[in-house]
Amino acid sequence: MKYTGQHIYDYVATFRQGVTMDSTLSVAGNLTFDSVALTGIQTSAESFANNDISIMTSAAIEDKILSYGYSTATGDITGVTAGTNLTGGGTSGGVTINLADASTSAKGAASFSSDNFAVSSGAVTIKSGGVDLAAEVTGVLPTANIADDAVTFAKAQGVSPNIFDNKIKLIPSDFMANDDGGNTKFGVGYVETAGAGYGMRTANNATELYAFVSIPQGMTATHVDIFDKNTLAVEVFEAQINATTMVSKGSGNANTTIDITDVASTATNFLVIEVTTTNATNDKVYGGTVTIA
């Protein structure tokens, strides 16, 4: 058969539209695709070649991914690292994370979302029902780690309720007169009318007023304030319930804070605060405070 130019043109046009083959196509040389001359196909049995002239089978792709340390398993944690205030961790099996005890360097490491626990002298017990924390204090709580600038329930246990924050309040019932006015001039008069005449006064010009203060266990008295009408002289002593000694710890005037020599609480000591009144009619004392730390 003799082919004309038209035959040849039609054959080429048909070939360009697509080739359908029913048998295997083998390429002995390079296969050029999108201007890239591909030299081969990498299988999983071959070493990885980092280039732009070869392609990889799916098995070869999987081998390369696994070589970077990825796992085909799903949902497994391969390592747990303990964070701040925690210890423990691990990379396999059962992993335990331990919560550090609260301390100076790890304050607030633990917190409770429920009040279902009780406090005793040496332990915190988790309970099945809610409790009143104050009612569950069954032993003496240590005060070494309680801040010096705050007085808590634990420190004030068994002490006069006249404590607010870090101060012991002195109210009228805390004052009494000495015996300088004579046997018929004892007692303190309380003027209850508000204004210039208000306050506590003595029954005699020669009488002084005294307040006696027990320092809470584990605490130290550091300052004294007396509030009055005429800025009277004040002196603070340390006395004992089992002795006759009185040691001066500082002096000053009312309406001004007196920085006394620190007096730490003991089983027998207490403070004696002397207010030197000189006029039974006009000298009036309102009260005072003792600062403790």
Taking CA atoms, 254 is separated from 7, 123, 124, 156, in Å, by 128, 45, 45, 26
Same domain, 59 and 126: no
pLDDT digits (tens, 9 = 90+) for 38-76: 777 888 888 888 888 888 889 988 888 888 776 666 666
pLDDT digits (tens, 9 = 90+) for 220-264: 999 999 999 999 999 999 999 999 999 999 999 999 999 999 999
Identify the CATH number of the domain in which residue 267 sits: 2.60.120.260
Residue bearing tokens 């633990």:
110
Helices within the chain (DSSP H only) = 5-17, 58-66, 153-156
Same domain, 185 and 270: yes
108 lies in a domain?
A: no
Same domain, 284 and 255: yes
Q: Is 22 in a helix, a strand, or coil?
A: coil
Determine the Cα–Cα distance for residues 177 and 205; give it in Å rounded to an integer: 11
Same domain, 181 and 255: yes
Domain that holds residue 97: 76-102
- What's the structural domain count of the chain? 4
pTM, full prediction: 0.48
Taking CA atoms, 293 is separated from 117, 167, 265, 269, 270, in Å, by 29, 9, 11, 16, 15
